[in-house]
Amino acid sequence: TTVLSLALSADVTVMNRIDADRSKLAHGLHDGLLQTLTAAALQLRVCSKNCQGDTRHELNSIQQLLAAEQKRIRVFVNGWDRKNGSKDFVLASACKVVLTALGAYWHCETPLRVVPVDARVSSAIAENLSLILAEAIANAVKHGGATRVLIDLERTTDALAISLSDNGCGIHGPAGAYTDEALIAQHAGPRFLCDRVRRLGGSLVLSTSLAGVRLQIRLPA
């Protein structure tokens, strides 16, 4: 009984510390980053009023991206993900919102296919998926010069299979397929993406050639 009480007390202490750290980070984001994003959005609004045509359209697009990022940060600051951790999201509609914003920012086509069409995922999976898509598409455009990234998602009873195929020039190095373990060992490929997938208990395979890159990611769900 004494051992159990000590274990429970330690768990409570750890949770309290996590809550305190989260609260400190949330306040820092609110008072710092969110305020900066708000100021930047206001400056862009002023600038767009003095512009016409394509320039005004580009500035408005950047404003929309800033607004989306502000919303995402506010979700974190308010602890929304913890309060709604069990809430399910319709996979197709959740991804379309993210991909529309990413496509506009990177000037890249992002067609999406979801199987089954009414597949649902938890809020935690939806949040991590949005970050995976953001990094993968950014890498495809910045490093491979891609103008199109095809996204295929398949939800099974115990996993989410994610496939991203771009029309870029591939990554530097020999053509072939590489696991996340091989990429990390060789200090090659999308290191942060590999780390995120591994932290989630998933796996990643990257196939590269002159025709582009294909990422195959599997996450437990």
Amino acid symbol at 129: L
pLDDT reading at 80 higher than 50: no
Q: What does the mean pLDDT of the chain come to?
A: 80
Mean pLDDT of 151-171: 94
Query: Which among 151, 167, 161, 168 has a CA at the least distance from the CA of 111?
Result: 151
pLDDT reading at 81 higher than 50: no
pLDDT reading at 201 higher than 70: yes
Mean pLDDT of 114-140: 90
Which of 93-107, 119-133, 181-195, 200-214 is predicted most confidently? 200-214
pLDDT reading at 218 higher than 90: yes
Mean pLDDT of 156-179: 91
User: Residue 60's Cα: distance from chain center in Å?
Assistant: 22
Query: CA 211 to CA 219: how far, in whole Å?
Result: 26
Query: CA 113 to CA 91: how far, in whole Å?
Result: 10
Mean pLDDT of 77-92: 62
Q: If DSSP codes are grouped into helix, strand and coil, which group holds residue 204?
A: strand
Q: If DSSP codes are grouped into helix, strand and coil, which group holds residue 208?
A: strand
Report how far apart the first and last C-alpha atoms of the chain are (Å, whole number).
36
Query: Are 168 and 212 spatial neighbours (Cβ–Cβ below 8 Å)?
Result: yes
pLDDT reading at 4 higher than 70: no
Predicted local distance difference test score (pLDDT) of residue 1: 52
**Phi, psi for 200 (deg, rounded to 5):** -85, 0
Contacts of residue 196, defined as CB under 8 A and 6 or more positions apart, other chains included, come to: 128, 131, 132, 135
Amino acid symbol at 95: C
Query: Are 98 and 137 spatial neighbours (Cβ–Cβ below 8 Å)?
Result: no
pLDDT digits (tens, 9 = 90+) for 31-54: 666 677 777 777 778 888 888 888
Using alpha carbons only, give the angle 31, 135, 123 rounded to the nearest 5 degrees. 70
**Phi, psi for 104 (deg, rounded to 5):** -70, -40
What confidence category does residue 202 fall into, taking pLDDT thresholds of 50, 70 and 90?
Answer: very high
**Cα torsion through 110, 194, 167, 60, rounded to 10:** 40
pLDDT reading at 96 higher than 80: yes
pTM of this structure: 0.68
What confidence category does residue 161 fall into, taking pLDDT thresholds of 50, 70 and 90?
Answer: very high
pLDDT reading at 16 higher than 70: no
The lowest-confidence range among 40-44, 76-80, 154-158, 214-218 is 76-80
Predicted local distance difference test score (pLDDT) of residue 113: 96
DSSP E strands, 132-183: 149-155, 159-166, 176-179
